[in-house]
Structure 1
Amino acid sequence: MLPSIAVRHLAGQPGRPLLVVGPSLGTTVDRLWGPVASALPGWNVLGWDLPGHGASPAVDRLTPGFSMAGLAAAVLAAVSDAAGRDVAFAYAGDSVGGAVGLQLALDHPLRVTSLAVLCSEAAFGTWSTWPERAALVRASGMDPMVASSPARWFGSRVGEADPRRAAAAADLAAVDPESYARVCEALAGFDVRSRLGTVSVPLLAVAGADDVATPPAALEALAAGVPDGRVEVLAGVGHLAPYEAPEEVAALLAEGLSPRSPQRTARGCG
């Protein structure tokens, strides 16, 4: 059973090229991507929230978990309900949102026209910490994540007194712990390195120079692994590039994503 995903309209008007944006674990798409979306006047921007985050309902505790492929399928279904079953779109995502973008480009290539992956990688499943993190939030709620995440999230541009820290922490505190744990478990099974050579759309990889979770080397390897990939590194930025440097991220997306007017793929494909 696929998780339920809420799609939010962030900016733009129907009829413009469609851009779908995805969040990092523990964040809401409005907070993370809102300023970027507002700086992209040529696009119609939709965002989605992870289960139990922002506008998306919490997972049903009686149903099995989901894989990254299942999460990507749920995102595609929600976008299709919002924009049209066969409408193709550009995609940009941060961290787990970027992993979902890779999964979409691999599993549904006719739906994705171009791809930006920010502060992410192709092999989250190589991390050994996901089961421990899932167990921790199930036992103790979100408090341990609220205490530890700022050190992983922010680069030197977002100082201790920056109000963006408190705002992001408040969003994280409101996350449903079981939903957070399920996403951790999905990430534990995610490794698409062997499939990168089949990515058929242009890929822009964006790294934060201060990102300790997915450092620039991870994004460089990702860009090198696809046929049409390039990497950009943002100075002073950590793991939440759209939130930390919205103007620069918007400029990169405006240049790097391929706009395409709304159109439909062959029915039944992708």
Structure 2
Amino acid sequence: MKKTMLPDLLRLTAPVRETLDALPASMAVIGVGADGQSVTVDLDRSPHVLVSTCGGGGTSTILRTLTAQFLHHGAHALVLDLKMISQQWARGLPTVTYRDDVADIHDALVGLADELRRRIDVVDRHGSGVGLLRLVVVFEYGDATLRRLARDWETVRQPGDPRVSPALTALTDVLFAGDMVRMNVFFNGDPTLSVLGLEGREQFSTVVLGRVPAGTWRRFAPAVGPAPKDRGGLNRGRVHVVQGGDTVRQTQVLTLTDPEALGRAAGIC
């Protein structure tokens, strides 16, 4: 394998912290690339991020690290954590709404639709979204949560109700229109077409792939050629970041522990 400048581990230490501090509020560090340069996401240009790995691939760590960076810059977050363990570090933060029950997740997403309409109205009246706080929707355990929302809606839907769960419709609406009003989705998983649809899935313009099967690679990075041979054997924390559908960078992700993420979000580290 060609030698790269990728470290074995990337932590919140001094020069990494200085790099984070120098970024504008719309940007966060995903990790460092094989060329030794930071791999970042700019939510003003690439509004939604999907992270997909096999079990134990560090997906929750990536979401935690990204979320903490945007909270540090004043964003608010809606954390949807059906597993009830993955993002506990954010629970109790004044700028975080944390939901871990499927009924509460449903209601939170429906409320998100109202917030989206309110923000669009602000833009329509004032011509811009200046002054709108960034809202990051952190969707942990995404695939299973979407399926559960769809299944539960079938059990409670009444005559005259929409066929598709309003919670899923709200998520799709945010994926399509959120970039205009500073609403961004971080999704953990590989959303199925039957729930989110092809167009909804295509809204993720930054995709982080780690230890995924070839089929997942073809779905999210068809323009960059065959899946890398090392996709199933990457070191822990080693991923491929696909941006714009045609640019891929092998990356060692930045890893923040729960206490580090909490400190970063609170502005004390």
TM-score range, shorter chain: 0.3 to 0.5
Larger helix proportion of the pair: 1
Larger strand proportion of the pair: 2
- Higher RCO (CA 8 Å, separation ≥ 6 residues): 2
Between Structure 1 and Structure 2, whose CA radius of gyration is higher? Answer: 2
If the length of structure 2 is used for normalisation, what is the TM-score? 0.33
If the length of structure 1 is used for normalisation, what is the TM-score? 0.32
